[in-house]
Structure 1
Amino acid sequence: MLLFVLAAVAVIVAVRWFAGRTGLPAAAILPVIGIVYALLPGQNLTLDPDIVLTFVLPPLLYSAALDASLLAIRRNLRIVVSLSVLLVFITALVIGYGFHFLVAGATLAAGIAVGATVAPPDPVAALAVGRRVGLPPRLVTIIQGEGLLNDATALTILSFAAAAVLGEGFSAPAAAGRFVVAAAGGAAVGAAVAYALRLLRPLTRDPMSANAVSLATPFGAYLLGEHLHVSGVLAVVVTGLVVGHHAPRTASGASRLQTSAVWRLVDFLLEGFVFLLIGQQLPAVIRGLRQYGTSTVVTAVAVSVGSVLLIRPLWLLLTQSLPRSLHSRLGTGQHEGRLSGREVTVLSWAGTRGVISLAAVFTLPRITPDRDLLLFCTFAVVLVTLVGQGLTFAPLVRLLGLRADQVDEARLRNEARAASVRAALDRLDDLDRERREDPGHRDADLDAADAEATDAMRDLLNQRLARYQGRIDLLQSAESPEMPVSPQYEAGVRIRRVAMEAQREELLRWRDSGTLPDEGLRVLERELDHEERLLPDRRK
Structure 2
Amino acid sequence: MHSVEVFELIIAMFLAVLALHYAAQRLSLPPAVALLVGGGALAFVPGLPTVELDPELVLVIFLPPLLMDGAWFTALSPFRRHLAGIASLAVGAVLFTAAVVAVAAKLVVPELPWAACVALGAIVSPPDAVSARAVLQRVKLPRRLGTLLEGESLVNDATGLVLFRFAVAATLTGTFSLGAAVGSFAVLVGGGLLVGGAIGAVWVLLLRRLGDDHLMIAASVLVCWASYLLGEALHVSGVIATVTAGLVCGWYQHVIFTASVRLRGVAFWQVLIFLFEAAVFILIGLSLRGVLDRVGGIGVVVADMALPVVTVILAMTLARFAWVFGSDALLKLVSRMGWRRAEPLGAPAATVMSWAGMRGVVTLAVALSLPDAMPGRDLMLVTAFAAILATVLVQGTTLGLVIRRAGLTEDERARPPLDLFAAEAAMLRAQFGAVEKHAYAPDGTLLHPRLLDTYRRRATISNEFSGSDEERNESIAAHFGMILAAVAAGRAELVRLHRANQIDDETLHDLERDLDLEELGAIAAKG
Q: TM-score category by the smaller chain? A: 0.7 to 0.9
Question: Would you say 1:418 and 2:415 are equivalent positions?
Answer: no
Pick the aligned partner of 2:349 from 337, 343, 346: 343
Which of 15, 19, 44 matches 1:14?
A: 19
Percentage of pairs with the same residue: 35
Q: Under a length normalisation based on structure 1, what TM-score does the superposition of the two structures give?
A: 0.77
Counterparts of residues 402-417 of structure 1 (less than 5 Å)? 402=408, 412-417=419-424
Question: Within 5 A, what are the aligned runs for 1:23-62?
Answer: 23-42=28-47, 43-62=49-68
Q: Which position in structure 2 is the counterpart of 1:480?
A: none
Task: Name the CA distance, whole Å, in 2 between partners of 1:420 and 1:57.
Answer: 37
Alignment of 1:290-305 (within 5 A): 290=296, 297-305=305-313
Match of 1:108 in 2: 114
The equivalent residue for 2:91 is 85
For residue 380 of structure 1, report the CA deviation from its aligned partner: 0.9
TM-score, normalised with respect to structure 2: 0.79
Task: Give a deviation string over 1:348-386, Cα, whole Å, max 9, x none.
Answer: 111000011000111111221221111111111111001
Please identify, of 47-56 and 423-432, the stretch whose mean Cα deviation from structure 2 is larger: 423-432
Q: CA 1:298 to 1:73, structure 2 compared with 1: closer, same or farther past 3 Å?
A: same
Partners of 1:263 and 1:293 lie apart in 2 by 40
In the alignment, does 2:449 pair up with 1:452? Answer: yes
Contact kept in structure 2, 1:96 and 1:108, CA below 8 Å: yes
Structure 1 pair 16–277 and aligned structure 2 pair: CA distance change class (3 A): same
- SS at structure 1 position matched to 2:295: coil
1:346-385 pair list within 5 angstroms: 346-385=352-391
Q: CA deviation at 1:184?
A: 0.7
1:101-150 deviation per Cα after TM superposition (whole angstroms, max 9, x unaligned) = 43132111111111111111124444444343322222221111111001
Q: Distance in 2 between matches of 1:265 and 1:215?
A: 12
User: How many corresponding residue pairs?
Assistant: 453
Amino acid at match of 2:312: S
Equivalent of 1:200, from 197, 202, 206? 206
Root-mean-square deviation over aligned CA pairs: 3.1
Shift of 1:170: 2.9
Distance 1:201 1:350, change over 3 A: same
The 1:325–1:305 alpha-carbon spacing in structure 2 relative to 1, beyond 3 Å, is closer
Counterparts of 1:452 and 1:187 in 2: how far apart (Å)?
A: 53
Hey, what's the Cα distance between the residues in 1 that align with 2:410 and 2:43?
40
**Is the contact between residue 221 and residue 236 of structure 1 (CA under 8 Å) also seen in structure 2?**
yes
Q: Deviations over 1:260-302 (max 9, x none)?
A: 1121111111111110111122222223434979675233213
Which of 314, 322, 333 is the equivalent residue of 1:314? 322
Three-state SS of the structure 1 residue aligned to 2:359 is: coil
How far apart are the structure 2 equivalents of 1:217 and 1:282?
32
Distance across 2 between alignment mates of 1:190 and 1:241: 9
In the superposition, relative to structure 1, how do residues 307 and 174 fare at CA in structure 2: closer, same or farther (>3 Å)?
A: farther
Give the letter aligned to residue 455 of structure 1.
Answer: L
CA–CA distance in 2 between the matches of 1:61 and 1:226?
Answer: 15
- Give, as a single letter, the amino acid of the residue that structure 2 aligns with 1:320: D
C-alpha distance in 1 between matches for 2:301 and 2:208: 64
CA–CA separation in structure 1 for the residues paired with 2:397 and 2:331: 35
Structure 1 residues 127 and 405, CA gap change in structure 2 (3 angstroms): farther
Alignment match of 1:188 (pick from 183, 194, 206): 194
CA contact (8 A) 1:352 1:382 kept: yes
Alpha-carbon distance between aligned partners in 2 of 1:404 and 1:527, rounded to the nearest angstrom: 37
> Which residue does 2:167 correspond to in 1?
161
Partner residue, 2:219: 213
Equivalent pair of 1:113/1:161 in contact (CA under 8 Å): yes
* Cα offset, 1:187, TM superposition: 0.7
Q: Mark the runs of 5 or more structure 2 residues left unpaired by the alignment.
A: 1-5, 459-485, 487-519
1:312-335: CA deviations, max 9, x gaps? 11111111112459679xxxx995
Provide, for residues 389-445 of structure 1, a one-character-per-residue CA deviation record: whole Å limited to 9, x for no partner.
Answer: 111112222233336599x89981111111111222333444468x54xx4xxxx9x
Identify the residue that residue 498 of structure 2 maps to in structure 1: none
